[in-house]
Every structure is written in C-alpha cells, then in structure tokens.
Structure 1
C-alpha cells in the first residue's frame, strides 16, 4: 500500500463542531506521511467534484472513513456523498453493476466491484460506551459488535470489491471521554494496520 484516501464524514452541529474527528484525520495524515504514504483528504464540509472523488477511490490503496456515529449510522452529508459519488461510480469506475448476469440474475449479487485488492478502514467516534457492545446482558445493542452496527457500511465497500481493515472506535466521547488515550490507541492502530 502506498496511497491512502481519508474521508472526514463529520457533519457539524452546535453540540459537536467536529474537533475530535478533524484531529483524528490530522493525526492519521501526519503519521501516515511519516511512514512514507501519500495521503489525500476529502471533508464533507468542503465542496467536492464527483469525478475527482471517484478518481481518489481508484487512486487509493486504502480508504479511511473517519466518522461520528449519528443516530446509529454516518451523518447525512456523508450519506449524500455516497448516494452521489458511489452511484456515479457504478459505470465501471467503482463497480460494473451488481455482478449478476441476465442469464442468471439470481446469482452472485454484489460481485461487480472493480476496486478489488484495495482495503478500507472505519474509524468511529460515538457516545455509547465500549461496554454497551459485545455483551448480551446490555439491553440496547443486544450483544452486537460495533461492526454489526456498521454492517451496511461494510457492505458498501464489499460491493466495490474492497477488503476491511480492523475497525477503530473512540467510545463514550461525550459523557466520559478519554481522548488522550484514544489518540494513543489510534496511533497504535494505524501502525498495526498500515505497517
């Protein structure tokens, strides 16, 4: 891997201006550049060109999506980005349709991706504590993992033929933050995933 494309999916709100996600993006950029990677960044708060965004996906060996968890998913502005950019990329630049044939349309849905050999990593910030996941005694998530919660996002990248790197998460960032430890864990995670 040489080229890393980072997407800052944060949508600013009065209670959440986006400093943590922006800092994690800056940290990833700095550390990856120091390791010899080339890095490009797109932020949802900036204007973007659809064709250029598709080119960034094609250029990248790996994509990092840095996003808060808003109402159990990505913010609306990143969903709009996906609807716009990813739909335009269905012309063969990101995927060549859904992988099925007219001869047998019931088989192999989701195998049309043209970004095979590329990887992606989700980096999430959320209010829920770590203890809310992976524990069937916790009422809300019912024992599910953070990757279970983000299964649709994983499927989006799988649709393009990409493979996942291990997900990173900063938990409990509003009620019980441990931000300095999160930064240290993120640094170790980047070293492990992009060694």
Structure 2
C-alpha cells in the first residue's frame, strides 16, 4: 500500500483561523484514501514530535503540503517545523549533510537527500491568478507561483524529494471562489495521481 504524508502548514494568525487550509487538507486525505493510500497527517498548529515526523517522511511515497502564502512565503510555524525536522534529519535519515565530500568540496551542494518519493504543494493566497506570470503586473514582475515558492522547493529537493505540479487557490480573502477552487483541486489531484503517477 502506498503512503502519503499530509502536512497542514497553517499557523493561526490574526484574521486567518485556518478553516480553508484544513478543508483542503481534509479533501486531500479523502482523495488519497479513495486511491488506496495509507494516510499519515500532521497539523502544525496542533504540535508534533520531531522524531515521529522524520519517520513519517521516511515512510511516505508522497508528501503533500497544504499551506497559505504569508508575506510571500511559508507561514512562520511551518518554517519553524522545517528548521526543526530537517535539521534533526541531517547526517542521518533525511540527508547526508549538504551532499559535498572532502574529496570534492566545491561540488554537489544540496544533493545529499536520502528520500526517493515525490511532493506536492497546495496553497491558498490573497493574490489573484492574474498577478502571476505577467510582466505587466509590476509587483511580481512576471514571477510564477512556483517562483515565489522557490525556497520551499529547494528545501524538499534537499531531502531528495521530486516535485509534482503545485496547486493554488487564489484571491481567497477579497474575491473567494471556494467551490470552484474545490472543483479545480479535485481535478488537479485526479490528473496528477491517476494519470501522471500511475503511468510511470
């Protein structure tokens, strides 16, 4: 039975109780159960044990991260999680340090990851879809959603996981279209995990 590790990276903050990210995480869980996956979960805001988190990563074929974009990056609570879990997994279960050797100290930085699975990031954000991938929009200046997530993608690459296409629910505060977002999310999961993964 394949295993998925679902992380709800939301950190409660003013005006953001986390109900939407919890709903996406629950929806993902239901999808994976229906696809025959064993589901492991962590909700950052509820606390976690670092050693248990490392075991979940080691067991998972897929890591699914659900989180909001907070000030152009991951919530502080999830960044703290990365600092604690990734560091505890260094030189051991998650990575063999930074990938370099004394014989070649200038090469292969960041390529010491020991995991062999895949990961997917699902986001909620206040920015509209139209603000990305358009050089005429001066704030992001043509950046994509994944460009904004580059540090997080590098974190997952550090431990050896391979990227799957990301998902984003846009404009969730000023102009929410939640039911449409749920439908797009369901279709995204089906496309990735029924067609892309199963065809490999």
Instruction: Name the TM tier (shorter chain).
Output: over 0.9
- Which residue pairs with 1:130 in the alignment? 129
> If the length of structure 1 is used for normalisation, what is the TM-score?
0.97
Choose 145-154 or 103-112, whichever is displaced more: 103-112
- Which residue pairs with 2:70 in the alignment? 70
Structure 1 runs (4+) deviating above 4 angstroms are none
- Which residue pairs with 1:162 in the alignment? 161
- Which residue pairs with 1:6 in the alignment? 6
Q: Tell me how far apart the structure 2 counterparts of residues 161 and 15 of structure 1 sit (CA, whole Å).
A: 35
Q: Tell me how far apart the structure 1 counterparts of residues 44 and 193 of structure 2 sit (CA, whole Å).
A: 24
Runs of at least 5 residues in structure 1 that lack an aligned partner in the other structure: none
1:70 Cα deviation from its structure 2 partner: 0.2
Q: Tell me how far apart the structure 2 counterparts of residues 167 and 181 of structure 1 sit (CA, whole Å).
A: 17
- Which residue pairs with 1:20 in the alignment? 20
- Which residue pairs with 1:149 in the alignment? 148
- Which residue pairs with 2:182 in the alignment? 183
Q: Quote the RMSD (CA, aligned, Å).
A: 0.9
1:192 Cα deviation from its structure 2 partner: 1.2
Runs of at least 5 residues in structure 2 that lack an aligned partner in the other structure: 195-200
1:13 Cα deviation from its structure 2 partner: 2.0
- Which residue pairs with 2:113 in the alignment? 113
**1:27 is paired with a residue of what secondary structure?**
helix
Equivalenced residue count is: 194
> If the length of structure 2 is used for normalisation, what is the TM-score?
0.95
- Which residue pairs with 2:61 in the alignment? 61
1:184 Cα deviation from its structure 2 partner: 0.4
1:28 Cα deviation from its structure 2 partner: 0.5
